[in-house]
Chains A and B, each alone.
Chain A
Amino acid sequence: MTPSQEVIQQVNNLMKSGFEIPEEKLVPTATLIGDLGLDSLDAVDMLVYIEETLGVKVEGERLASVKTLQDVYVLAAESVPRPSEANA
């Protein structure tokens, strides 16, 4: 699934607000660990932020294959709406 601009913007915003990452570093090819300086705890929090911001349920098991910011966009885009939001 190709992430929409809205999803990309939402992910970028939470990267800035949650992890204090400057805008210029938020390019799709940026690696989470090497380029953006995130670690395993940040990865857990990133999923929480994505779920809260986008109203989705993220498959935590997929986290191991998420390496770049583009992977995060895709993960967010492919996550399913949470039941409460889907019924709203």
Chain B
Amino acid sequence: MKVFITGMGALSSLGNTVEDMFDGLKAGRSGIRHFPEWQQYNGLHCHLGAPVPDYDIMKIPRQVRRSMSRMSEMAALATLQALGQADLQPGPALNSPRVLLIMGSTSGSPVTLETYFRKLFEKHGPEGQLSTSFFKVMNHSVAANVAAAIDFNGALISPSCACATSTQAMIMGWELIKAGLYDMVIAGGADEIHYMSASVFDIVQAASRGYNDNPDAASRPFDQSRDGLVVSEGAGVLILESEASMLRRRARPLAEVRGGAYVCDGTHMSQSSAETMMKVMHEALRRAELEAGDVDYVNAHATATLHGDVEEAKAIGGVFGANTYVSSLKGHLGHSLAACGALEAIASIKMMQESVIIPTRNLCQVSEDCQGIRHVRELTSKPVNLVLSNNFAFGGMNTSLLLSAPPADAVTGD
């Protein structure tokens, strides 16, 4: 059973549609800006973030919207975009036991967590809490709110593994369709920007500190002068569909999900290793029945940290050698945490559609310890038929997803 992608939706620091995001990537723009208000937080050294541009949420009815944090709002809008592209209407048409909604975030809304607990401590109890506060901070808030926004009452799963969340959602969607349990999966992830997210990385010295006065130069994956990641926000949602469902609906395939794997490191909470990164890439290839030499392009997770980029470069070199094209999009988009896997999958699909590879932004001089792989440093026109996209998360959660351009004989739409 082949699995195809028939719809995509994105809200990102480079724009609030798939096209806007990809135009920004092609133009080499950065979504990162200075957050001077973060200077007030003791112990926080990174004052940079990549926020999503303003969006209109008023199309969502108030009684659905009231329990949405920013991450749920973005996820709902991205889902509506994806459904629209797949020519699917929210509501009864989706309410089949053969449709799964799988979506998550790193945690509940950090913005609401702060206000919730601040009031809880101030009031010495729950007095004054709004009825909807908990619905913004519960772990499955994004999935539940998206379900309400699209009037969905089918199966729902809310995975949560930080920066690998949406990649795991897509891979699980692929697995469950392959297993014959579902015909269609609405998969994705979202996260919202907050100084607590930056703090998580700042505390372990993984966030950028040296570019607060030069945001455009911050987030430099694989670069000699990299000094850490910059958090961003966003939502990415993809519609995964069995070949039979796609043919039945005469939907247009945007890409094929060839496989993927999620493998736990099991050794260290924050220090990923090349060995376990290689393991997940090999496992993804094995499950997809593909060889490393089949892959045209690797979309690296590379967040511009001193340690992670080195290990990923070693791992990619170990699996693919020095000839496969490699780039990271974190220099453009920042690190959107639970959304990044879906956003990067969407960008990879656009690269296949437009036969172009987005280079790693701010990669001026490849770090000596990140060499041995084929870094893409300028916009490169090249046919791309098979992509491996990596995402790694705290907790030792490693994921690799394989996407390919749809075969010509799978093109069924208009």
Name A residues whose Cβ lies closer than 8 Å to a Cβ of B: 19-20, 37, 39, 41-42, 44-45, 48, 51-52
Contacts and interface: CB of A to CB of B under 8 A. Distances in A.
B128 A45 contact: no
6 contacts: A39-B63, A41-B132, A42-B131, A45-B130, A51-B128, A52-B128
A63 to B, nearest CB: 12
Given A19-B62, A44-B131, A45-B131, 11 more contacts: A20-B62, A41-B132, A42-B63, A42-B66, A42-B131, A45-B66, A45-B132, A48-B128, A48-B129, A48-B130, A51-B128
Contacts of B129: 48
A42 to B, nearest CB: 8
Nearest to B58: A20
Contacts of B132: 41, 45
A45 B128 CA distance: 9
A37 B62 CA distance: 10
Interface in B120-138: 128-132
Cβ-closest 6 pairs across A and B: A44-B131, A41-B131, A45-B130, A20-B62, A45-B131, A48-B128
Nearest to B130: A45
Contacts of A51: 128
For the residues of B in contact with A, the DSSP-based class is loop
Nearest to A20: B62
Contacts of A19: 62
Between A41, A44, A51, the greatest number of chain B beta carbons within 10 A of the residue's beta carbon is seen for A41
A45 B130 CA distance: 5
Interface in B44-91: 62-63, 66
A51 B128 CA distance: 8
A41 B132 CA distance: 7
A45 to B, nearest CB: 5
A79 to B, nearest CB: 14
Contacts of A20: 62
Nearest to B128: A48
Contacts of A37: 63
A41 B66 contact: yes
Interface centre among B62, B130, B131 (most CB of A within 10 A): B131
A49 to B, nearest CB: 9
B198 to A, nearest CB: 30
A39 B131 CA distance: 11
Contacts of A42: 63, 66, 131
Nearest to B129: A48
Nearest to B65: A20
A52 B129 CA distance: 11
A41 B62 CA distance: 12
A1 to B, nearest CB: 24
A42 B131 CA distance: 8
A16 B96 CA distance: 38
A77 to B, nearest CB: 20
A83 to B, nearest CB: 13
A41 B66 CA distance: 10
B118 to A, nearest CB: 14
A61 to B, nearest CB: 15
Contacts of A45: 66, 130-132
B180 to A, nearest CB: 39
B64 to A, nearest CB: 12
Contacts of B130: 44-45, 48
B41 to A, nearest CB: 26
A52 B119 CA distance: 12
